[in-house]
Amino acid sequence: AQTVTQSQPEMSVQEAETVTLSCTYDTSESDYYLFWYKQPPSRQMILVIRQEAYKQQNATENRFSVNFQKAAKSFSLKISDSQLGDAAMYFCAYRSRGADGLTFGKGTHLIIQP
Amino acid sequence: DAMVIQNPRYQVTQFGKPVTLSCSQTLNHNVMYWYQQKSSQAPKLLFHYYDKDFNNEADTPDNFQSRRPNTSFCFLDIRSPGLGDAAMYLCATSSTGSMNTEAFFGQGTRLTVV
């Protein structure tokens, strides 16, 4: 079974600064997908960024980028120019190929200081 | 433009009284998932439907059942809710027929057991 570990229960960053959220995972599979999801308080979970394991290039989406280290099984999220609207719970998630569901980490609560 | 809709948003049920949560989608996705998310924890997959095929997670209690009468709708039935079943229940969908691998989530139903 796959496991996902987020070692930072809470992170705090000043508005406009950069923050990196950590995620490691364990799997014996070679082909899979990794995701970062954002869950604001009382709002639905939305996708921030995705990475296919077979792609060496790190995914980027505007201010969000990942550092994917397949050999180290590490998948960190960097948020540049942090904004107040980025405050939320961030979940790292793993998915095998096919229709299997997501395996989530325990989440990191991101606080943005004005 | 709501794509995954869960009803109701909040549900209060009595201990031991059967309750049904509903989920509908306008995305025509062939896979639908149910997750349980307890307070300050990661979502945990209960089961999913791949088209009409039901896939139960090994550790999902028998107390939880699901129905998918058609592509658009999926229901979560809790036969005899206990206090420990109080949680947020998240419905999600995905498509195996597209290059998009992400799951789309509803806003969730928060279940309280009294």
Q: Among all residues of chain A, which has the CA nearest to that of B6?
A: A44
Give the pLDDT confidence score for residue B81 in this predicted structure.
Answer: 97
A95 and chain B: CB distance < 8 Å anywhere? yes
Q: How confident is the model at residue B2 (pLDDT cuts 50, 70, 90)?
A: low
What residue ranges do the domains of chain B occupy? 4-101
- Structure tokens that stand for B96 in this block: 């195996």
Q: Of B29-33, B65-69, B94-98, where does mean pLDDT reach its minimum?
A: B94-98
B68 and chain A: CB distance < 8 Å anywhere? no
Average pLDDT over residues A18-28: 97
Of all residues in chain A, the percent with pLDDT exceeding 90 is: 84
Q: Which domains does chain A have, with CATH numbers?
A: 3-113 (2.60.40.10)
Q: Return the closest-CA partner of residue A96 out of B101, B76, B56.
A: B101
Q: Among all residues of chain B, which has the CA nearest to that of A48?
A: B102
Chain-wide mean pLDDT for chain B? 93
The answer to whether residue B1 scores a pLDDT higher than 70 is: no
B64 and chain A: CB distance < 8 Å anywhere? no
The answer to whether residue B51 scores a pLDDT higher than 80 is: yes
SS3 state of residue B23: strand
The answer to whether residue A92 scores a pLDDT higher than 70 is: yes
Which A residues in the span 16-45 are in contact with B, Cβ-Cβ below 8 Å? 33, 35, 37, 43-45
> Which residues are CB-neighbours of B40 under 8 A, at least 6 positions away?
none
**Four-way CATH pick for B4-101: 2.30.30.40, 2.60.40.10, 3.40.50.720, 3.30.70.1560:** 2.60.40.10
3-state secondary structure chain A: CCEEECCCCEEEEECCCCEEECCEEECCCCCEEEEEEEECCCCCCEEEEEEECCCCCCCEECCEEEEEECCCCEEEEEECCCCHHHCEEEEEEEEECCCCCCEECCCEEEEEEC
How far is residue B39's CA from residue A94's CA, in Å, rounded to a whole number? 21
Q: How confident is the model at residue B50 (pLDDT cuts 50, 70, 90)?
A: very high
* Chain segment A43-82, per-residue pLDDT in tens: 889 999 999 999 989 999 999 999 999 999 999 999 999 9
CA A99 to chain B, closest CA, distance in angstroms equals 6
Q: Is the dihedral of CA B53, B98, A25, B4 positive or negative?
A: negative
Contact between residue B48 and residue A99 where contact means Cβ atoms under 8 Å apart = yes
SS3 state of residue B47: strand
Q: Do B33 and A47 touch (CB under 8 A)?
A: no
CA B93 to chain A, closest CA, distance in angstroms equals 10
Average pLDDT over residues A8-12: 97
Q: Do B42 and A104 touch (CB under 8 A)?
A: yes
A35 contacts in B (CB within 8 Å)?
102
Q: Do B45 and A102 touch (CB under 8 A)?
A: yes
